[in-house]
Amino acid sequence: MDAKTLSSVLFLAFVAITLVIVYRAGRSTKKASDFYDGGANFSGFQNGLAIAGDYMSAASFLGIAGTIALFGYDGFLYSIGFLVAWLVALLLVAEPLRNSGRFTMGDVVAFRMKQRPVRTAAATSTVVVSIFYLLAQMVGAGALVSLLLGITDPGMKNYIIAGVGILMIVYVTIGGMKGTTYVQIVKAFLLMIGATLLTVLVLWKFNFNISDLLGAASENSGKKEAFLSPGLKFGKDMLDAAGAIDPAATLASKLDLISLGLALVLGTAGLPHILIRFYTVPTAKQARKSVNWAIGNIGVFYLMTIALGFGAAALVSRTVLFRGYTTNADGLLVDKTGAVITDGGTSGFTLDHLKDLSADAKKLLVPIDPSGNVAAPQLAQFLGGGEGTTGGAIMLAVIGAIAFATILAVVAGLTLASSSSFAHDLYANVIKRGKATPEQEVKVAKLAAVAIGVVAIFLAIAVQTLNVAFLVSIAFAIAASGNLPAVLYTLFWKKFNTRGAVWAIYGGLAAAVILLVFSPIVSQPILPNLAAAPLFKDAHFAWFPLSNPGLVSIPFGFLMGWLGTITSNEKNTAKYAELEVRSLTGAAIGKAVSH
Partner 1 sequence: MSEQQHGIWEATQASSKFQNLRKSYRGFAFPLTIAFLVWYFLYVVLSAFAREWVSTPVIGHINIAFVLGVLQFVSTFVIAWLYERHSSHKLDAPSDEIKHEVEKALGH
> Torsions phi, psi of 185, nearest 5?
-65, -45
Alpha helices by DSSP H, 28-114: 34-37, 44-55, 58, 65-71, 74-88, 94-100, 105-109
Tell the smallest beta-carbon distance from residue 367 to partner 1 (Å): 25
Tell the smallest beta-carbon distance from residue 528 to partner 1 (Å): 21
| Options 1, 13, 80, 514; binder of partner 1; rule CB under 8 A | 80
Show the site string, 215-244: x = touches partner 1 by CB under 8 A, - = not.
x--x------xx-xxxx--xx---------
Is there a contact between 206 and 213 (Cβ–Cβ < 8 Å)?
A: yes
Q: What is the CA radius of gyration of the chain?
A: 24
Q: Is 76 in the site for partner 1 (CB under 8 A)?
A: yes
Q: Is 533 in the site for partner 1 (CB under 8 A)?
A: no
In the bound state with partner 1, the residue whose beta carbon lies nearer, of 87 and 447, is 87
Output the CA–CA distances (angstroms, integers) from residue 312 to 236, 338, 367, in the order listed.
Answer: 23, 29, 16
Residue 179's nearest CA partner among 413, 402, 449 is: 413
| Options 56, 65, 69, 90; binder of partner 1; rule CB under 8 A | 90
Q: Is 58 in the site for partner 1 (CB under 8 A)?
A: no
| Options 291, 308, 394, 403; binder of partner 1; rule CB under 8 A | 291
> Torsions phi, psi of 327, nearest 5?
-130, 165
Residues in the chain, how many? Answer: 595
Residue 168's nearest CA partner among 462, 377, 451 is: 451
| Options 66, 482, 500, 586; binder of partner 1; rule CB under 8 A | 586
| Options 4, 163, 203, 299; binder of partner 1; rule CB under 8 A | 299
Q: Is 78 in the site for partner 1 (CB under 8 A)?
A: no
Buried b (16+ CB within 10 A) or exposed e, 318-349: bebbbbbbebeeeeebbbeeeeebebeeeeeb
In the bound state with partner 1, the residue whose beta carbon lies nearer, of 18 and 115, is 115
Site size for partner 1 (CB under 8 A): 59
Compute CA 583 distance to the chain's CA centroid, rounded to the nearest angstrom: 29
Task: Say how many C-beta atoms besides its own lie within 10 A of residue 409's C-beta.
Answer: 30
Tell the smallest beta-carbon distance from residue 305 to partner 1 (Å): 11
Buried b (16+ CB within 10 A) or exposed e, 560-587: bbbebbeebeeebeebbebbbebbeebe
Q: Is 207 in the site for partner 1 (CB under 8 A)?
A: no
Show the site string, 490-509: x = touches partner 1 by CB under 8 A, - = not.
--------------------
Contacts of 438 (CB under 8 A, 6+ apart): 31, 32, 33
Q: Is 585 in the site for partner 1 (CB under 8 A)?
A: yes
| Options 36, 301, 302, 562; binder of partner 1; rule CB under 8 A | 302
Q: Which stretch binds partner 1 (CB under 8 A): 50-58, 189-197, 212-220, 548-556?
A: 212-220
Task: Say how many C-beta atoms besides its own lie within 10 A of residue 496's C-beta.
Answer: 28
Tell the smallest beta-carbon distance from residue 53 to partner 1 (Å): 19
Chain residues in the site for partner 1 (CB under 8 A):
73, 76-77, 80-81, 83-84, 86-88, 90-92, 210-212, 214-215, 218, 225-226, 228-231, 234-235, 254-255, 257-258, 261-262, 265, 284-285, 288, 291-292, 295-296, 299, 302-303, 573-574, 577-578, 580-582, 584-588, 591, 594-595
